[in-house]
Amino acid sequence: MTITSSRITEAEINELISKLHALLPEARRSTRRASAAKLLKETCSYIMSLHREVDDLSDRLSLLITNMDVTSSQAEIIRSLLR
Partner 1 sequence: MHATKEFNKKGFFKQFLLGLRISKSFTTNPISIEQRKNSIKLSSDLAMAFARGRTHWTRALISKLGGKEENTTMLKGIMGRRYGILMAIYSYPLPHQKVQRGKKIVRSYRFCSGANKRRALKGSCNRVSPSIVARNLVNRRTKVLKRLVPGGELLNGSSLLSETLDYVISLKAQVDMMKSLWKATQISSSRNVELDPSASCQGRKLLMLANSKDEFQLFKKS
**Rule CB under 8 A: is residue 34 a binding residue for partner 1?**
no
Query: Which residues, other chains included, contact 17 with Cβ-Cβ below 8 Å and sequence gap of 6+?
Result: 34, 36, 39
For the CB of residue 15, give the shortest distance to partner 1 in the complex, in Å.
10
SS3 at position 3: coil
- Contact (CB, 8 A) for 43 and 24: yes
**Rule CB under 8 A: is residue 27 a binding residue for partner 1?**
no
Q: Specify the residue, 13 or 30, whose C-beta has the smaller distance to partner 1.
A: 13
Using CB under 8 A, pick the residue from 2, 3, 19, 27 that binds partner 1.
19
